[in-house]
Structure 1
Amino acid sequence: MSDSAVMSRRAGGRAARVAARSAPLAENLRPVRPGLPGGQYKPLTDAGVKRIHEAALEALEVIGLSQAPQSGVDIMTKAGAILGEDGRLRFPRALVEDMLAVAARDITLFGRDPKYDMELSGTRTYFGTAGAAVHIVDVEKREYRESTSADLLAASKLVHHLDNIHFFQRAMVCRDVPDNFDMDMNTLYACCAGTTKHVGTSFSDPAHVAGGFDMLHMIAGGEDQWRARPFVSNSNCFVVPPMKFATESCQTMEDCIRKGMPILLLSAGQAGATAPASLATAIVQAVAECLAGVVYVNAMSPGHPAIFGTWPFVSDLRTGAMSGGSGEQGLLTAGCAQMHHFYGLPGGAAGGMSDSKLPDMQAGWEQGILNVMAGLSGLNMIYESVGMHASLLGFCLESLVLGDDLLGQVQRCVRGIDVTEDSVSIETMRSVCLDGPGHYLGHSQTLELMQTEYIYPAVADRTSPKEWAEIGRPDLVQKAIERKNRILRDAAPTLIDPAADRAIREKFRIYC
């Protein structure tokens, strides 16, 4: 056989092996995947968890919550809550325990495509977006501008194509839509048009809920299809900390429950401002408020799917301003995850926020630390994990792309190290050290584990300084811009059925 034939055969064999390693892996073989179990990190002791629980029950019995709508007062007092002369609803311990006993556990949040379904049980972890940023971060001009419905649609499309971001909750406000009803409808449309992953949204007025469900039924193919697989959840700030119900949000929540939509019970106090400065007591208040939500939901509809959304935020106590990227924020989020596990309820909280104005080193360490802490704590739903800057005021599309790489590394940390008979066998060591070349490069085990044990970034640079210079000294943000543009260029204009899309546009004023 000629030398050229031998070289050709070797090249072909290597190319085939490279192609095989580059092919998509089955979901169960991927190094990271949605729903990896966490729970390794616990900032609270077991005694601390029980003390927080007892303090929350005491707060509900002694302080209670004010400003529930009359419908909510009727629902909760019928179940056993006590309305005081001061107008505050108080919750006996037995009532809370009864409602916890019937509350939904091990729930599934559906995607329009079943492959994106999320099973919220135990310490399974899922990462996604959230928030209500009023600005978009323009990294090329290094400036902030008002966010639009087109920006929200672009973010939804990006999330759909980024494997390590598992759900899309409304991340920014459509500032180009002046009418509030139209804004809510455009928000819902933009989220659903861009992705078939699970979507979270909110309504600015209870009167807008009916229109939203008209749209959802059109997307789903009918009310029955919607109720069988509700693919949108209501992010509901049902309380205004400290310890007050948000009247209109509660009315929205009641309507969404009647219409079969899962609820995120969201308590978002800010430690040192609308929540106690003590981190432990900030968790107490958030837990008490969300337990009141558990009573509310289950007194109205026992077992309705609801997420225990303790989202205490942090203040920079020097100024009173929010500090989303702080270490204290990571501790609060992880501590809340322990409380979710204590109750056995599906839980969610804020994860990878950044105080930085741009996707820079500060953003990297803040997002990395907070997401690792949230993931290792076993928090089911990690919201605001990517894209959010300036303490929730700005959203960055390039940060979504960079965040996909970041979350891949985070999830690899959550997965941990697999210790099995095969993985700790010394046979590979013996063959290399005694019979082989003295290194593991090219060994069959190394090649076998390349894709299943290790994850590789799509944008981050791992070249040597010499190689980096030879390929033009690529800039990380510029690479993110290029990947963002490729995804948006190739993405479908809408993932809603064409007939349904036309019907929606005929019924509603759609801006994007």
Structure 2
Amino acid sequence: MTSPATRRSGGRAARRAARAAPLAQDIRPIRPGMEGGTLRTLSDADMQRIHETAMDALEQIGLIDAPQSGIDIMTAAGAILGDDGRLRFPRALVEDTLAIACKDITLPGRDPANDMHLSGHRVHYGTAGAAVHMVEPDGRTYRESTLQDLHDAARITDQLDNIHFLQRPMVARDVVDNREMDLNTIYACCSGTTKHIGTSFTDPAYIPDALEMLYMIAGGEDKWRERPFLSNSNCFVVPPMKFATESCEVMEACIRGGMPVLLLSAGMAGATAPSTIAGAIVQATAECLAGLVYVNAIQPGHPAIFGTWPFGLDLRTGAMSVGSGEQALLSAGCAQMHKFYGLPGGAAAGASDSKLPDMQAGWEQMCSNVMAGLSGLNMVYEAAGMHASLLGFCHESLILGDDLIGQALRCVRGIEVDDATLALEQIREVCVGGPGHYLGTDATLSRMQIDHVYPTLGDRTSPKEWAEKDKPDLITNATTRKQKMLSEPSTARFDPILDHALRRRFNIHLPA
């Protein structure tokens, strides 16, 4: 006969084994697309006033410097070209556009398990940016970023549960030809991750080749158009209230090629946007509404992400302040405006002004990531890895950001209140003739994985245990994990036949 002690021990062993096994996606404590929206930094009246002011700005001020093709497209839709060269947008035109704009966007991954559904307050975190340096925390140095660094960032992202998409976070400075840089960026990202990818293009003349590469990777143009796994991050405006002529031409070509677009307005509050938080949100909203008219005049209902990205500025020095509380408020307010219009949207949060993954980086990254998530921002760009006010990217920080975003997502999930979580019967069993504590009870053990998020690298040991383990260092452990992740073959790598075809057609700089 088995003793009670043996049965208990066996039960504990079984529970430990169950806890070690990966959880099913639907019962994980956090996952992509969790619903935020509980934080409201703007009242309904505030949002209405921002909307009315943005509409006034479009009607009375308008935007300048659209390419001739864009002028033709938008005036045909109802925009008015003034003698001063500015395109103005009647309120009725904007309202009609909002009625037909795509409200429910799915951004596919090459693996359907990584698809992102952007409706409502669903929250997704990912990378973004155009950093020109890599941060090397070991030597506390900066160096120029390379194509290999970009590919490695994609490979790391592919293995991190809480980084849901990869928008190109750095520029491949070792590829000097712009056309080859754009094409190699696609190759490096797509061969590194099966999550959705975002990138930009420097010249509209490069788009046909880019689309050809994407069609080849997808297995044909029809398959690409069915599941476009890469979107164009497009800075279609140069704030304040000016179209970016060449970027607009890129956008037109991408739309016609079946590529989703991110309408990115990135004014600097106090420099290229009003210094007040409300004013910066007004301008970004107006610019993105103009972009929405542009997109839908080309292709009604084309997937376009409402990318209000106003950035903070340190008015003492003129330096960016992406890690500030003002930045957190800017992005949270923008998230509310996206929901005001019922549009899928994105903004920047999670970047740091700190030069290294240190305490400053931690408080800056968490502050805006949590606020953006609680506000229900669909796409949180710059959420991990970005330092030095967007000038530096760090692989170790990307890995640590996965832990940080895990805690942010737990905040997004919020507090469930029902009969089970109110726990009256647990309290009764523990307090009336029970052990007087909840450690090891069936109720505690059964919920420890579905309710709680545990960091991968974050250290919760006591000082004594920490010392007994030779005082492990967070950055050193992140570097060790990076090396392990990069030592394994990429699961996103191309089939050898496809890879050979791509290399025969394009000048691929990464080694085979």
TM-score (norm 1): 0.98
For 2:100, the equivalent position in structure 1 comes to 102
Aligned partner letter, 2:67: P
**In the alignment, which of 169, 188, 198 is matched to residue 167 of structure 2?**
169
| Correspondence for 2:509 | 511
Task: Report what 2:207 is aligned to.
Answer: 209
Matching of residue 137 in structure 1 with residue 135 in structure 2: yes
- Letter in structure 2 aligned against 1:25: L
Q: Is the 8 A contact 1:129 1:383 kept in 2?
A: yes
Aligned to 1:468: 466
- Alpha-carbon distance between aligned partners in 2 of 1:483 and 1:364, rounded to the nearest angstrom: 19
Aligned match of 2:243 in 241, 245, 257?
245
Tell me if 1:376 matches 2:370.
no
Q: Does 1:401 align with 2:399?
A: yes
Task: Say which SS state the counterpart of residue 142 (structure 2) adopts.
Answer: strand
TM-score between the two structures when normalised by the length of structure 2 = 0.98
Tell me if structure 2 keeps the 8 A contact 1:219–1:497.
no
Matched with 1:88 is 86
Deviation at 1:498, TM superposition (A): 2.2
| 1:382 aligned counterpart, secondary structure | strand
Contact 2:194 2:492 in 1 (8 A): no
The answer for the alignment partner of 2:276 in structure 1 is 278
**Aligned counterparts of 1:78 and 1:259: Cα–Cα separation in 2:** 21
Distance in 1 separating the partners of 2:120 and 2:242: 30
CA distance in structure 2 between the aligned counterparts of 1:507 and 1:494, rounded to whole angstroms? 20
Query: What SS does the aligned partner of 1:126 have?
Result: strand
Say if 1:158 and 1:488, in contact at 8 Å, map to a contact too.
Answer: yes
What whole-Å deviation, never above 9, does each CA across 1:397-420 have from its counterpart, x for those lacking one? 000110000000000000001111
| CA positional deviation for 1:497 | 2.4
Q: Percent identity?
A: 67
Match of 2:41 among 32, 39, 43: 43
**3-state DSSP of counterpart to 2:420:** coil
2:436 alignment counterpart: 438
Aligned: 1:200 with 2:195: no
Q: CA deviation at 1:481?
A: 0.6
User: For 2:4 and 2:488, how far apart are their aligned partners in 1?
Assistant: 40
Distance in 1 (alpha carbons) for counterparts of 2:414 and 2:279: 31
2:155 corresponds to: 157
AA at the equivalent of 1:133: A
Give, as a single letter, the amino acid of the residue that structure 1 aligns with 2:422: V
Q: In the TM superposition, what is the alpha-carbon distance from 1:141 to its structure 2 partner?
A: 1.1
Aligned to 1:356: 354
Corresponding pairs, count: 510
Superposition misfits of 4+ residues, deviation over 3 angstroms:
5-13
Output aligned runs, 1:238-317, within 5 Å. 238-317=236-315
Letter paired with 1:121: S
Shift, 1:17, TM fit: 1.7
Classify the secondary structure of the residue corresponding to 1:435.
Answer: coil
1:173-184 → structure 2 map (5 Å cutoff): 173-184=171-182
Contact 2:193 2:491 in 1 (8 A): no
CA contact (8 A) 2:191 2:490 kept: no
One-letter amino acid matched to 2:167: Q
Unpaired runs of 5+ residues, structure 1, are: none
Alpha carbons 2:396, 2:479 under 8 Å: kept: yes
Task: State the secondary structure of the residue aligned to 2:17.
Answer: helix
Aligned counterparts of 1:487 and 1:15: Cα–Cα separation in 2: 29
SS of 1:422's equivalent in the other structure is helix
Instruction: Find the aligned partners of 1:497 and 1:217 in 2 and give their Cα distance.
Output: 15
Alignment match, 2:490: 492
What is the identity, as a one-letter code, of the residue corresponding to 1:28? Answer: D
2:222 paired residue number: 224
RMSD after superposition: 1.2
| Cα deviation, residue 42, structure 1 | 1.2
